[in-house]
Amino acid sequence: MHSVRIIAWTPACAIAITIWLLSATPDLAITSGTLDTVLRKFAHVGVFAALTVACAWGFRAQRIGTHATLIAAAGVAIAYAFVDEYHQTFVPTRHGAVSDVAIDAIGIAVASIVLKMFYDRRGVA
């Protein structure tokens, strides 16, 4: 049973590692111009929404309540958003931006709302 609680964190760790590796990539671009900027900002929203859901899964495996799960998952995700931006300040051609943390927070908020609705609908306490 204890191993299930640990394994439940695998998705969150995998997403965090992916974020770290992408952040460590100099000159990271999907395409060029304005489209690149828009796609990267949507990627921020999506990947931090996914991180929030994965963290919620990990916290639920620890058998903590729904409210605490949502707060903890959002807290870990926003903390990682700050760490990610700080990390980028050490990568050539990259820079950390508080505005990216705000964009990440949009994904975190959307995921938190969707999770709350899911838990409420399923009657999860």
Complete DSSP assignment for 54-74? HHHHHHHHTT--HHHHHHHHH
18-50 tens-digit pLDDT: 999 999 999 888 888 899 889 999 999 999 999
pLDDT in the model for residue 1: 59
- Whose tokens are 């489209």? That residue is 35
- State the pLDDT at residue 65: 93
| pLDDT given for residue 36 in this prediction | 86
pLDDT for 32 equals 85
Specify whether the CB–CB gap between 49 and 17 falls below 8 A. no
pLDDT computed for residue 2 by the predictor:
77
Per-residue pLDDT, 123 = 85
Average pLDDT, the chain: 94
Give the whole-angstrom CA distance, residue 120 versus residue 97: 35
pLDDT given at position 31: 80
- Average the pLDDT over 64-73 and give the result: 96
pLDDT of residue 29: 80
Task: Give the residue among 57, 80, 79 at the shortest CA–CA distance from 70.
Answer: 57
CA distances from residue 124 to 93, 108, 114 in whole angstroms, order as listed = 45, 20, 14
